[in-house]
Structure 1
Amino acid sequence: MDSASHPIQDAAAGGSLARRGLMFIMSSPSGAGKTTISRMLLERDEHICMSVSCTTRPPRPGEVDGKDYHFVSQAEFDRMVADEEFLEWATVFGNSYGTPKAQVKAGLKEGQDYLFDIDWQGTQQLYQKLERDVVRVFLLPPSIDELRRRLTGRGTDSEDVIAARMERARSEISHWDGYDYVVVNDDIDACFDKVREILAAERMRRARQTGLIGFVRELMTP
């Protein structure tokens, strides 16, 4: 069932009441499923969009500048860091990634939800700057052996790269307790359902429904 036919999600997405947007962060070690879950969420929920990050890495086949990433030079990225234009930024495997500040802040005020596919360091930075707008979800693999099998099964990385990713995965997993929700991805559909339930509940938080005060006052007026 997609969001268009889900009454709870329809109400949570805003309905007739004004609502402040949220920053929905999904983190996981490489191979644990966050990219797949993110894609499913974007396809089935029209009220959330991907935050488009800046990166210094070259585009991969099929990636579009401005849609998948804003591809910039290292010099331009460094200038943006110096000018404090990022909500968060980090360097991963020799490439820099950052979340532009202005567009996200404007969208949140208008009720736009943003999806973030970032690591624990970026999550910390976002939480420190915009705590009330952030929802943190961490996906775990069912086992380390299964994680290695998934990475090997991609057939895109050398053994050295896989070993580096596994080492990084153990480091990332150690930060699981810095998240609001933790979901074990042993079945992709079941994992997606849990993530969608989290998003629906967070949208209905009283503090995010900015139109509630006026609405309730009308209900109480004789």
Structure 2
Amino acid sequence: MYDLKDKERIFVFTGPDGSGRKTIAKLVAQTTLQMKGVISYTTRVRRPYEIADQDYYFISEAEFETASNSGEFLESVHINGNSYGIKENDVRKTFAEKGCIYLVLNREGSDIVKDLYGDKVIRLFIYADRDTVLSRQKERGDDSEIINLHLSHYDEDIAYQNKCEHAFENYKLDHTAYEVTNVIEEYLDLKLSEDC
């Protein structure tokens, strides 16, 4: 397991699928120059709007299993018949470039990382109501089977906000990104003041 240095932090963007968590994370990272994302690996099929090696590293189940058996994953989960994971070496390399990193994870992955690193992990819960989430998933071209699968655990996903350090309702991207950026910068300012 990668040992976080005293000043290193992990910001985890989580929330229901269709809440805009990945979009918010990317917008915030453009503003917060000290932060960079770590891309997850997945065995699921790439969706039409996704870009390989930017949204996910798309690999086979056999490749995932080999990496898992070799202990390469810092965290990994199996959801809806697909595997997802963050490689420890990617975390290590990203920390070498930046002072903090962000991950986009579901609640299971968020819990794993929180259990590993405790207070060094700040979970940022991004959410919207069920109808908005449904509408966004339709707009981006998800098929009805995928949408129904996501919505089947919407209530459990929403309830997870009570475990997170911060929660943000996302109806206007720029406004939400601004609010999240302010919260992250408070953590980074505190970290900088501790360095002095």
TM range (shorter): 0.7 to 0.9
Query: What value does the CA root-mean-square deviation take over the aligned residues?
Result: 2.5
Equivalent residue in structure 2 for 1:32, among 16, 19, 23: 19
Report the CA distance between 1:38 and its aligned residue: 1.8
Partner of 2:149: 164
> How far apart, in 1, do the equivalents of 2:126 and 2:10 lie?
16
Specify the SS of the correspondent of 2:78: strand
Matched, 1:146 2:152: no
Stretches of structure 1 that go unaligned for 5 or more consecutive residues are: 1-18, 213-222
Aligned residues: 191
Equivalent residue in structure 2 for 1:73, among 39, 60, 63: 60
Report the CA distance between 1:123 and its aligned residue: 0.5
Matched, 1:118 2:105: yes
> How far apart, in 2, do the equivalents of 1:182 and 1:31 lie?
15
Whichever of the two has the greater Rg, that structure is 1
After the TM superposition, which residues 128-207 of structure 1 pair with which residues of structure 2 at under 5 Å, given as runs? Answer: 128-141=115-128, 143-158=129-144, 160-206=145-191
Note the alpha carbon deviations across 1:10-31, whole angstroms, 9 max, x for none: xxxxxxxxx8332111111111
Partner of 2:37: 50
CA contact (8 A) 2:31 2:181 kept: no
> How far apart, in 2, do the equivalents of 1:64 and 1:209 lie?
38
Q: Percent identity?
A: 24
Partner of 1:211: 195
Report the CA distance between 1:59 and its aligned residue: 4.2
> How far apart, in 2, do the equivalents of 1:132 and 1:209 lie?
17
> How far apart, in 1, do the equivalents of 2:109 and 2:37 lie?
15
Counterpart of 2:51, as a letter, is: E
Specify the SS of the correspondent of 1:175: helix
CA contact (8 A) 2:126 2:170 kept: yes
Report the CA distance between 1:39 and its aligned residue: 2.4
Query: CA 1:56–1:139 in structure 2 vs 1: closer, same or farther (change >3 Å)?
Result: same
> How far apart, in 2, do the equivalents of 1:60 and 1:151 lie?
12
After the TM superposition, which residues 1-40 of structure 1 pair with which residues of structure 2 at under 5 Å, given as runs? Answer: 20-40=7-27
Specify the SS of the correspondent of 1:151: helix
Stretches of structure 2 that go unaligned for 5 or more consecutive residues are: 1-5
Report the CA distance between 1:205 and its aligned residue: 2.8
> How far apart, in 2, do the equivalents of 1:152 and 1:111 lie?
36
TM-score scaled by length of structure 1: 0.74
> How far apart, in 1, do the equivalents of 2:71 and 2:87 lie?
9
TM-score scaled by length of structure 2: 0.83
Query: CA 1:32–1:70 in structure 2 vs 1: closer, same or farther (change >3 Å)?
Result: closer
Query: CA 1:202–1:190 in structure 2 vs 1: closer, same or farther (change >3 Å)?
Result: same
Report the CA distance between 1:112 and its aligned residue: 2.8
